[in-house]
């Protein structure tokens, strides 16, 4: 436990140093943040326009859709800030960089997590999504109690871990096939194009994928049922309450798969 706490403090320190380093070029930092934030604004418009035309989507109005989107966007921003370095996992394998990771006295996964982050991108994800959360919450009658706030924070952290677990699981295929671009592309399609809307509108096939294959529905769709006091239309009524458990299980499976994949790593000296 002491080692975990020490590594956590080290990771926070490294993120702080990266944030200070990026602020040395304020114009670049702000322009990058604004540019990415416009993507988030565009995503919100993509919710508002069909809601304006059809009034509801899958029985959910714009405020419900916006609240769900805000939860998802907050989790995604945290993932980008903490675990975005895994997008370069294939390069580490292909270039033989794993050789250096494996001879150091720190777990390779921690080294990758600590290697890089993008504070501007994270802020550009958080600012519109946090604003959206505050704007939509009164319209869906979410009571802001200490318990509700704590649950929102836990859901956001768990959602980030879920996205990382999927990314880590996909990264392992790089040990076998060197490149994972196509598989990441499929996962990204479900993450960025499908997970914005209620999973039940897609029918059983896509809903199954979002729940059991790329379980992004646990990042926001199922948890919103807890806040809205809605009955779940898919699978189990327990799903709105188990996002943290899903995150832990997925991460454990992904790390176990990573250990298996690491055994197939072909270093530059082999």
Q: What is the pLDDT of residue 72?
A: 92
Exposure on the CB side of residue 60, measured as CA atoms within 13 A: 29
- By the 8 A CB rule, do 199 and 234 touch? yes
Q: Which residues contact 265 (CB under 8 A, 6 or more apart)?
A: 93, 98, 175
CB count in 10 Å sphere of residue 14: 15
Q: What is the pLDDT of residue 88?
A: 77
Residues in the chain, pLDDT under 50: 1-2
State pLDDT tens for residues 36-64.
666 767 777 777 777 777 888 888 888 99
Q: What is the pLDDT of residue 9?
A: 66
Which tokens go with 168? 């880590």
Handedness of CA 188, 254, 120, 220 (dihedral sign): positive
Q: What is the pLDDT of residue 1?
A: 46
> Cα separation of 169 and 101, whole Å?
19
Q: What is the pLDDT of residue 2?
A: 44
Q: What is the pLDDT of residue 125?
A: 76
Closest C-alpha among 79, 75, 184 to residue 130: 75
Q: What is the pLDDT of residue 185?
A: 86
Q: What is the pLDDT of residue 21?
A: 67
Mean residue pLDDT of the chain comes to 81
């Amino acid at each position: 436990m002491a080692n975990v706490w020490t590594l956590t403090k080290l990771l926070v320190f490294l993120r702080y140093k990266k944030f200070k380093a990026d602020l040395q070029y304020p114009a670049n930092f702000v322009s990058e943040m604004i540019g990415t934030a416009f993507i988030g604004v565009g995503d919100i418009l993509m919710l508002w326009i069909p809601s304006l035309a059809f009034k509801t989507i899958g029985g959910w109005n714009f405020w419900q859709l916006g609240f769900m989107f805000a939860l998802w966007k907050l989790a995604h921003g945290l993932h980008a800030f903490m675990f975005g370095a895994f997008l370069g996992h294939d390069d580490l394998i292909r270039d033989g960089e794993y050789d250096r990771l494996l001879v150091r006295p720190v777990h390779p996964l921690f080294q990758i997590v600590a290697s890089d982050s993008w504070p501007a991108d994270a802020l550009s994800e958080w600012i519109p999504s946090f604003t959206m959360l505050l704007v939509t919450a009164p319209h869906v009658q979410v009571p802001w109690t200490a318990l509700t706030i704590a649950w929102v924070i836990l859901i956001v952290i768990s959602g980030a871990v879920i996205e990382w677990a999927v990314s880590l699981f996909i990264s392992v295929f790089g040990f076998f096939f060197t490149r994972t671009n196509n598989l990441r592309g499929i996962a990204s399609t479900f993450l960025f194009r499908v997970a914005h809307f209620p999973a039940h509108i897609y029918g059983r096939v896509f809903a199954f994928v979002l729940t059991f294959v790329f379980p992004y529905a646990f990042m926001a769709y199922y948890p919103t049922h807890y806040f809205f006091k809605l009955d779940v239309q898919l699978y189990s009524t327990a799903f709105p309450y188990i996002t943290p458990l899903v995150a832990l299980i997925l991460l454990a499976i992904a790390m176990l798969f990573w250990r298996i994949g690491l055994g197939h790593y072909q270093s530059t000296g082999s």
